[in-house]
Each structure stands twice: as structure tokens, then as C-alpha cells.
Homo-oligomer: A and B are copies of this chain.
Amino acid sequence: MARKRFENFCCSTAQTLDQIGDWWSLLIVRDLFAGARSFTALADNLGVARNILTDRLKRLTEHGVIEKAPARSADERFAYRLTEKGRDLLPVMIALMQWGDKWVRGPGCEPLLVVDARDGKPVRPMSVRAWDDRILGLADIRSLPGPGAQRAAGEAVSSPSPVTKDTAPA
């Protein structure tokens, strides 16, 4: 069956996944962050099937995450680039990478280090911050319905909330 789309989900996480949560889309974005630009470079780096790559590039373009510039520079015809929307995925990419570094590869086995360009030190682990910059853990945050909340059918972050989060007890 067709993959279910998440458009009418309440939480923005679902919306995000609907646009870039695809298996390949995020890796394409990662490669664009890393400097890849041409169709062939992406295809070679990722090892993705070309028809799939075509489809994903089209979809990402439609969503405004990347753009296809007809800039030809000798050995490439088009250059795919991140838009501002795409570049704004940096925290997501870094968070995913750090999680993989920590929990999949294990400490000391990072294949790629992201460092501060100024002093060459690794960047900090991503963390949720309060307005006064305190680092917040799961126990320090609450979630509540925002301005765009809609109690539409098919979605309701209800359930027996643990200590950590709740969604307006009434």
C-alpha cells in the first residue's frame, strides 16, 4: 500500500517527517551539507538508485528544501543546493549524527568530527535549552497545546502521561 502521509497529524514532528523523513531524503540533505552538488555525485556517494534519487530531488525541491540551479561549471550541468529552509536542518543533522556517534558507533569511533571553525574544538552535544541557557532534560520540560492545536480525529497526545510531559490535564 502507499505509505501513509502524515499531513493531518497534529504534532509538527509528523509534518517534518512527511517532508524529509524519507529514507533517502535526509541522506541527500546530509550530502548537500557536506558539499555534494551534482546528480552524479549524490548518486555515487549514496549508492542510491537513480530513479529514486530523481524522485527525492523532485520532492525536496517541491517542498522548498533544496533548489536546482542551472549553474553549469564545466563538468556539471545543474547544481542542487540547500535553500534557507534546508540549511535550517543543521541542528537536526547534527543531533542525528551525535546520537549515532554515541549510541551506534560508540565513543572514540566517530567517523566524522564537527568542530568549531574558530578554535577547532568539537561542538557541544546538542541539548535542549531554557531561555536562560540552562540545559534541560526530559524531566525539566512540559509540553502543552499551542496556538495551532486542533483536537482533530486521529491524533491526541493523550495517554497516561508520565512525570515528564503532559498535555493540559483538562
Which A residues fall within an 8 A CB radius of B? 3-4, 6, 10-19, 21, 23, 26-27, 30-31, 33-38, 41, 45, 47-48, 64, 85, 87-105, 108-131, 133-134, 136-150, 154-162, 164-167
A94 contacts across to B, CB distance below 8 A: 128
**Other-chain contact of A12, B47, B110, B136, B160 (Cβ < 8 Å):** B110
Chain B nearest CB, measured from A169 CB (Å): 12
A165 contacts across to B, CB distance below 8 A: 33-35
A26 touches B21 (CB 8 A): yes
B143 touches A112 (CB 8 A): yes
A-B contact pairs, 28 of them (CB 8 A): A3-B23, A4-B23, A10-B112, A12-B100, A12-B104, A12-B112, A13-B27, A13-B93, A13-B97, A14-B100, A15-B100, A16-B97, A16-B104, A18-B104, A19-B103, A31-B157, A33-B138, A35-B157, A41-B159, A45-B158, A91-B95, A108-B147, A112-B149, A114-B128, A115-B141, A116-B130, A116-B136, A122-B131
Chain B nearest CB, measured from A16 CB (Å): 4
A105 contacts across to B, CB distance below 8 A: 12, 15, 148
